Structure 1
Amino acid sequence: MTSLVDEFRAAARQAGAGADDADLDAAGEYLLSRWAEPQRHYHTVAHLSAVLDVVGRYAELAPHPERVLLAAWMHDAVYDPRALGDANERDSAEFAGGLLATLGVPDEVASDVARLVGLTAGHATGDDDPDGELLCDADLAILASDDEAYAAYTAAIRREYAHVPDDAFKDGRAQVLKALLELPTIYRLEPLRAQWESKARANLERELSG
């Protein structure tokens, strides 16, 4: 966990945070506590770490990788499986802007990180937004995983929605899968699209037909 806090502090510093190290570390620890909340089964520290790993590996594809890293930290900071629509993403974006402001991150940067967080609601980016594309691609990387990991992912999502009856969950999940399959491409950045697109679509189509 300590290494993750170090990574958060480094990204915040690169984004212009003026807070001292103790405050940055406290913010990182607080974020990790949110990612460890009991209602989470997929949207956990493991998911955060996986997204951060993808962003780190492909940082050269984004003009502001430190903003993408901070957005990764914040993108599910608020997560309530009972929330409606894109409330979690909207609340996470608002949370991101507020937290970064308290850490002395410049307003323009904090606003852009909040914007990036909001993109994860529908994973639809603009024509010229490589920062947003990297965040969304990293968030959806799980979709291109092998059969065992994909099965573990879908099981974890079902546990998060244990309060939803089976028929209603199946209908809602089908809507999510169809929306992803209707995207022009699931992955926007060419290197990631080349590696992951076909496998992700196969996984989604198999789940939808199951």
Structure 2
Amino acid sequence: MTVDLQQRWAAALLAVRGAGGGPDPAPYAANLLERWAEPQRKYHTLGHLTAVLDHLDVLAPHAEDADVVRLAAWFHDAVYLPERSENEERSARLAERALPEAGVGPEATAEVARLVRLTVGHDPAEGDRNGETLCDADLAILAAEPDAYAAYAAAVREEYAFVPDEAFRDGRAAVLRQLLDLPRLFRTPHGAAEWEERARRNIAVELELLTA
């Protein structure tokens, strides 16, 4: 998995920074992979990163710049502490520091940071094709088969093991209701056609279990 991810990072980085050259992509990949493998992560792991990148391969035709979106996927949970509420902001700031050092220009760097911040609410503006693509890829787990969805929900609970049961149930239920209240969970044509119905069914089942 690690070698494949290193190659995918290098391909996206080189595509975005173009022919101008820059430093070796490998150390940046190593730093990000180390972050994604931190022990406090139970769902937001290398497996999640890989899944998001895989979904982006499917959704890439919808994006204005699929490789910029791929870089945003690498950074979107690069800083992750379950007890902190500013993970996306800190991840965006990491991108703003690291990408210029890696040879990425200011416009692409700003777009990556914007996309990372967008994953706070997963509610991109109409016509924001890069934002729609990243958010759909990040939320695709919601449309998993029931067993995989149950494993995802269990991993999220494990990440928040420090939260008492009642408080977790209330907080998680609020998050699920916010998702169900969105007019659409998925904004890309593929996501809307293939994932919307199953995701809403999975969320409804989890919500029913939490509030039973």
Query: TM-score, normalised on structure 1?
Result: 0.96
The match for 2:181 is 182
Q: Distance in 2 between matches of 1:75 and 1:191?
A: 22
Aligned-pair distance for 1:59? Answer: 1.0
Aligned counterparts of 1:127 and 1:199: Cα–Cα separation in 2: 23
Secondary structure at the counterpart of residue 81 of structure 1: coil
1:63-86 Cα deviation digits (max 9, x unpaired): 1001100000000000000003xx
Cα distance per residue 1:82-138 (max 9 Å; x no partner): 003xx0111111111111011120011101000001111000101111111010000
Between the aligned partners of 2:124 and 2:62, the Cα distance in structure 1 is 15
Q: Post-superposition shift, 1:195?
A: 0.5
Unmatched 5+ stretches in structure 1: none
Residue matched to 2:79:
78
Residues 165-176 of structure 1 correspond to what in structure 2 (within 5 A)?
A: 165-176=164-175
Alignment of 1:37-186 (within 5 A): 37-84=38-85, 87-186=86-185
Runs of 4+ in structure 1 displaced over 4 angstroms?
none
Question: Residue by residue, what CA displacement relative to the aligned partner does 1:16-46 show, whole Å, maximum 9, x if unpaired?
Answer: 164233xx11101110110000000000000
In structure 2, C-alpha distance between the alignment counterparts of 1:49 and 1:102, rounded to whole Å: 24
What residue number does 2:35 align with? 34
Q: AA paired with 1:152?
A: A
Are the counterparts in 1 of residues 23 and 103 from structure 2 also a CA contact under 8 Å? Answer: no
Separation in structure 2 between the aligned mates of residue 163 and residue 20 of structure 1, nearest angstrom: 41
CA distance in structure 2 between the aligned counterparts of 1:96 and 1:20, rounded to whole angstroms: 16
CA-to-partner distance for each residue in 1:141-179, whole Å, 9 max, x for gaps? 000001100110000000000000000000100111011
Amino acid across the alignment from 2:188: L
Q: Which runs of 5+ in 2 are unaligned?
A: none
Q: Which amino acid aligns with 2:28?
A: A
**Contact 2:53-2:70 at 8 Å conserved across structures:** yes
Q: 1:160, 1:19 → 2: CA distance?
A: 37
SS at match of 1:179: helix
Root-mean-square deviation (CA, aligned residues, Å) is 0.9
Distance in 2 (CA, whole Å) between partners of 1:126 and 1:35 is 28
Percent sequence identity over matched residues? 50
What secondary structure does 1:58 align onto? Answer: helix
Equivalent pairs, count? 206
- What amino acid is aligned across from residue 33 of structure 1 in structure 2? E
- Secondary structure of 2:17's match? coil
- Tell me the secondary structure at the aligned position of residue 140 of structure 1: helix
